[in-house]
Structure 1
Amino acid sequence: MQIAYRAKDITEAHIVAGLLKANGIETYVGGHYLQGAMGEIGAAGFSNIHVEDEDLYPARQLVAEYEASSRVTPAEESSDDKPDSYARWFLLVMAVLALIWLNL
């Protein structure tokens, strides 16, 4: 077996493993116990996805497509600020109402 992908965490490893399995490539996700040894720290780099030797090249092609599609462009980042601006206005209004209520 070969390592087809080194995930950031165990959740990403299972997402990529599911992608590979959906495309007919059998996988093994390793590193469950190593990540648990780190506790709540959120250890990275211990989760690996293993595939059979003959499936390594197609698996790496699928992983490359996954990585290319998961990148965020600057235009997409700016559109995520809208919910944050609503939260700021909401907090400002709540603070003003709290000040008015405390002064009564």
Structure 2
Amino acid sequence: MQRVYEPQDLMEGELLLSMLASEGIEAHLTGQHLAGAVGELPACGLLAVLVEDEQAQSAQALIAAYNAAQPLPGEEPESFQGTLLC
């Protein structure tokens, strides 16, 4: 297995697992049980998304597309320009 991404938090990690699964890529999230120890452990590098070696390149491309995504024009409310509402 290869480490293809380090999510910022558990929520992003779970989102990426679901996205990869929807594309047929089986992924695993490591370190989720260490998230409760933040403050006693280093704050970065705890979480990692792992995939099988033969799916690593596809997973990295999907994650790169996820990170490069921008809101569609016209979907921003005028009162919150520049702020992405989820």
TM range (shorter): 0.7 to 0.9
Distance in 2 of aligned mates of 1:70 and 1:7: 18
Query: CA offset at residue 28 of structure 1?
Result: 0.5
What residue number does 2:14 align with? 14
> Number of residues paired by the alignment?
74
What residue number does 2:2 align with? 2
**TM-score (norm: length of structure 1):** 0.62
1:39-97 deviations in whole A, cap 9, x for unaligned?
A: 7xxx44421110000000000000010000058xxxx6x7515xxxxxxxxxxxxxxxx
**TM-score (norm: length of structure 2):** 0.74
Question: What is the CA RMSD across the aligned residues, in angstroms?
Answer: 2.3
- Which consecutive unaligned segments of at least 5 residues does structure 2 have? 82-86
User: What amino acid is the match of 1:14?
Assistant: E
1:65 matches 2:29: no
Query: CA offset at residue 4 of structure 1?
Result: 1.3
Structure 1 stretches of 4+ moved >3 Å: none
- Which consecutive unaligned segments of at least 5 residues does structure 1 have? 82-104
What residue number does 1:32 align with? 32
Please identify which structure carries the higher helix content.
1
Q: SS of the counterpart of 2:24?
A: coil
Q: SS of the counterpart of 2:59?
A: helix
Q: SS of the counterpart of 2:69?
A: helix
Q: Which has the higher contact order (CA 8 A, sep 6+)?
A: 2
User: What amino acid is the match of 1:23?
Assistant: E
Distance in 2 of aligned mates of 1:26 and 1:7: 16
Q: Do the aligned residues in 2 keep the contact of 1:9 with 1:46 (CA within 8 Å)?
A: no
